[in-house]
A = this chain, B = another copy of it.
Amino acid sequence: MAVVSHRFVKGAILGRIQSGEWGLGDLIPAETDLAVHYGCARATVNRALRELAEEGLVLRKRKGGTRVRQMPVRQAKLAIPVIREQIESAGAVYRHHTITREVRVPDEVSRKKLNLREDISAAYIETLHLADNAPYAFERRWVNVDAIPDFLNVDLAAVSANEWLVRSVPFSLGSLSFCAIKADALIAKSLGCAVDAAIFSMNRTTWLDDRLITDMELLFREGYILQSVL
């Protein structure tokens, strides 16, 4: 018996959408009908349509059926930069350098982000990531050492704060955002760019249960481009 994979069905349906056979907003045949049409089980059609829905190409409703989306592709996958890999996959040598490392009571803005009491200290680290000895990204990070006391004993020369945390703490990503900011004197000096250069910034927080573990800001060198996949 001929094998009909969910990939085949997905591709066939996608083709019929892209060819215009099923226009934007149109209703697609029910799973059972498609299963008969393609000669496969309903579960196979279901998986194909479920993936198309996850990718934002169709909209599914019980009883309402499946429709081609008016505004397709609301979501894209984004490769989160893991700096060491990014640099090494480009064939360059990765190195990092700890600029600042101290434990103190955060200023009010950071304290609120970390959700800490006024009398609790946290670790503040500034790191420079280098590709072939040229500045690649400048990292500023607060670590909640009240939640992760082991962090105080880490040798940051051997492993970057990011990698230690990722390897040692049961993770759960909190939020991720991106923006553009102007380089101030500290950033300009660290990245070796002009003051007022346009810098691509990534913000990331990580939680353990309901406690914020670390809040990181990564500032990339001038001209950095973040590529999305898909």
Contact = CB atoms under 8 A, between A and B. Distances in A.
Per CB-CB distance, the 4 closest pairs between chain A and chain B, nearest first, are: A180-B180, A176-B228, A198-B198, A180-B200
A166 B56 CA distance: 13
A196 interface: yes
Interface stretch (A16-24, A97-105, A210-218): A16-24
B179 A224 contact: yes
Contacts of A178: 178, 200, 225-226, 228
A159 interface: no
A77 B175 CA distance: 11
Interface string A121-159: 000000000000000000000000000000000000000
Contacts of A1: none
A71 B82 contact: yes
Given A20-B170, A228-B78, A228-B175, A197 B182 contact: yes
Contact of A199 (B70, B176, B180, B228): B180
Contacts of A70: 166-167
Contacts of A228: 78, 175-178
A120 interface: no
A17 B179 contact: no
A18 B168 CA distance: 11
The oligomer's copy count stands at 2
A24 B78 contact: no
B230 A173 contact: yes
Nearest to A24: B167
A171 B80 contact: no
Contact of A76 (B78, B197, B224): B78
A73 interface: yes
Contact of A180 (B79, B198, B227): B198
A100 B78 CA distance: 32
A170 B19 contact: yes
Contacts of A199: 180, 198
A84 to B, nearest CB: 9
Contacts of A176: 76, 227-228, 230
Contacts of A167: 24, 70
